[in-house]
Structure 1
Amino acid sequence: MTPLGAALLGTGIFAKDIYKTNFKEKENEVDLKAVWSRTIESAQAYVQEFFPRSRPVAGEEALQEIIEDDSIQLVVVVLPVQAALKIVKRCVAAGKAVVQEKPVAATVAEAVEAISAYRRAVADAQTPQRTPLWMFAENYRYEAVFVAASRRVSEIGRVIKLDLIADLPMDERNRYFGSVWRRDVSGCPGGFFMDSSVHFVAALRMLAAAAGLGGAVSACAHARQTKPDLSFPDSVLGFARFANGDVPASISISLAAHQVRWSLSVVGTEGTLEVSRGGWGGTRTGYTLSIKTIRPQEASQPGQTDSAVQVLAYAFSGCQDEFAEFVGLTAELRRGAASAECGGDAAEVAVPNPAARSSPEEGARDLALIEALLASSAAGGQPVQVVQI
């Protein structure tokens, strides 16, 4: 089977750390034809180090050539938020399959406008082969530990509360500390906090939805900055309410911490579930899923319970798993499109709906909760409604 033609837009840290591996693991299915950067030196350095058979290009003219090149079916956008959405919109308008790294946009309003245009383009596409596909890369929704936690959250009964703790040292030890665009709060509202926390609330929303709580409807928070070398805010403490059952979720995030401590716990009437990473004695190289279920004993003593505890280790897998799905989905849709154009069943060609975990709508919902937390902190902690998408 002929590999998909692909282009990588962006050669920064994440492109080096993650997409280098993603493309190499899928080299039989994806032909990386072009690597684009804003400077030719960056594109050349990336190609020379990782993909010497690819073509390094830079600048506006080369970008437009990629967008117009019919041999390039899959475009992977790994660019700062200030530039990414504009390019995604151009690729969508050209009928490309696009993978966009987070965040989906600088603001929810920008995201909603772009998503509306995308859904119209899907509906108005003249041929299946020209139907655009916009896939949003939020690897937390693909991490095996969160997938497993979502499947098992029903074991702990009716949910009482959720607690998210994310303490991270954003300092000289972190490769992203030197990022300039994350400090540009005019183009990236919330700066480091927004860019990091869309991950964390994606996991929170994922488990809440799996527990039947629906979407987040309101949030309140207080924010502060203790590290002058970070953008405001570096720490946020608040909570969110969800649509079904008025269940609260506490949210505690700090980029000014001195160690990694990540925890997402769900307390239920029949047990507790927790996904953790780091902390005192914990591992930073993967996740731990701990589940304690409590069952009433069939004994004579009233009120006694019997508990069972499981502790399971999970390696990081989200970036690889999501890219595998993106490649498979693009290939499936384009093969179906080719079949339809040759007289096959056009109904087989379908773009994932707004509820799919790869949809840009899901990315916008993550951003909407972050915006509500920031808006509440600016209003002195008053509750703020989360924009519904």
Structure 2
Amino acid sequence: MASQQPPRIAILGAGIFESATSAVEIAKKFFPDVECKWGDSGLDEIIQDASIIGVDMSLRLLKAGKHVTGSRIHAFDCDVATCGFTGLLQSTYSNYDLSNYCFANEAGTELERAISSYASINPAPIWAVAENYRFEPAFVEGKKLMAEIGDIINIHVIIEGSMNNSNPYYSSSWRRGFDGGFILDMGVHFISGLRMVSSVSAVTSHVDSTLPGPDHVSSTIQLENGSSGVFVMVVSSRTPKVIWRIVGLKGTLQVERGSKDGKHGYTVLLYTADEQVKSWFYPFSGVTEELKTFFSDISLANLKKDGNYQVEPRLSYLEGARDVAVLDAMLESGKKQGVPVQVNRF
């Protein structure tokens, strides 16, 4: 059997991480034949190049038969912030079809159009949302511990971000150009663990005039099992903190962002009924893991031309869309001065 050739991948833009030319210099160390293409003509060449089977954005490329991954869902030519972290509770509570959700704002409308456009492609290539939180070992391993804390009583998600002029994303113009601002863009990274929510009541505010509003949301949530929780997010804080805490009948599970031995990552804490405390630290590695998974899936899809292949569910564009649905309800409640809003199901 002939050996499989590695997939040819196109990366459209290097974004804030580094310049495109710098990215090419790094890539050349591993892929000597890497080449640059520029502007609309370069994009057209990528679209028409049959040897390229995967890229990192846009429905134009999906329609051309390319497998696509991107840090957010791209609705037509507009960026719609739809990342999301795979919640510790996802496997129990979030097995919804996207059609069960309706969206209250313009971003949601564009998202629905993008999904409808993708659904019309046959055969459809892989459309993935590159969300490293879904692949972070802390959440992967933390989810396995959920059974040890029993039925859920309450959850707390506390996000105190550090979005200020020292942050490279601070001056990003597109993040300031849509309803929800940094709350929507940043918030979806933390929201998908709340997909068991049936209704929300939220208060939003705009305090920091250097940021688009709102820059704060405090939301009470009701879970499908009747218990409740809170989601609090501050976009810019002098004392950053990121923590998930899930209280069950048999114990409590906590995931907190931090560092250890010079490495950034997450500490997972399990508090058991017998007053034992177990602790694990997992350095960040989600970006590497989700890209490895994407490359593996598109390689398999390229071999099985009949479409008979299984895509890793954590890569699905639906994951990002479902994250937006809950946060969208919070933002809508905030606009209505805290009136409870259902996470609507058709």
Is the alpha carbon distance of 1:150 and 1:91 closer, same or farther for their aligned partners in structure 2, counting shifts above 3 Å? same
- Aligned equivalent of 1:61: 41
Deviation by residue 1:270-292 (Cα, 9 ceiling, x = unmatched): 1100000249x999811100001
One-letter code aligned to 2:320: G
Deviation at 1:175, TM superposition (A): 2.0
Is the alpha carbon distance of 1:166 and 1:155 closer, same or farther for their aligned partners in structure 2, counting shifts above 3 Å? same
For residues 1-389 of structure 1, the aligned pairs below 5 Å read: 1-14=4-17, 16=18, 43-44=20-21, 46-48=23-25, 50-51=27-28, 53-77=33-57, 88-102=58-72, 105=75, 106=80, 107-121=107-121, 124-125=122-123, 131-184=124-177, 188-202=178-192, 204-205=193-194, 215-243=196-224, 245-278=225-258, 285-294=264-273, 306-337=274-305, 346=306, 349-350=308-309, 352=311, 356-388=313-345
SS of 1:240's equivalent in the other structure is: strand
Q: Which protein has the larger Cα radius of gyration, Structure 1 or Structure 2?
A: 1
Q: Is the contact made by 1:103 and 1:195 (CA closer than 8 Å) also made in structure 2?
A: no
Deviation at 1:116, TM superposition (A): 3.0
Deviation by residue 1:171-207 (Cα, 9 ceiling, x = unmatched): 13322122222111xxx221111111110103x23xx
The answer to which structure, 1 or 2, has the higher relative contact order (CA under 8 A, 6+ apart) is: 2
Q: Deviating runs (4+, > 6 A) in structure 1?
A: 281-284
Q: Is the contact made by 1:264 and 1:276 (CA closer than 8 Å) also made in structure 2?
A: yes
- Aligned equivalent of 1:20: none
CA RMSD of aligned residues (A): 2.4
Q: Unaligned 5+ residue runs, structure 1?
A: 17-41, 78-87, 126-130, 209-214, 295-305, 338-345
Deviation at 1:217, TM superposition (A): 2.5
Q: Is the contact made by 1:240 and 1:248 (CA closer than 8 Å) also made in structure 2?
A: yes
Is the alpha carbon distance of 1:358 and 1:173 closer, same or farther for their aligned partners in structure 2, counting shifts above 3 Å? same
Distance 2:330 2:262 in 1: 29
Deviation at 1:240, TM superposition (A): 2.5
Distance 2:180 2:331 in 1: 7
Q: Unaligned 5+ residue runs, structure 2?
A: 81-106
TM-score by length of 2: 0.83
Deviation at 1:50, TM superposition (A): 4.9
- Aligned equivalent of 1:25: none
Deviation at 1:147, TM superposition (A): 0.9
Is the alpha carbon distance of 1:59 and 1:104 closer, same or farther for their aligned partners in structure 2, counting shifts above 3 Å? closer
Distance 2:163 2:345 in 1: 31
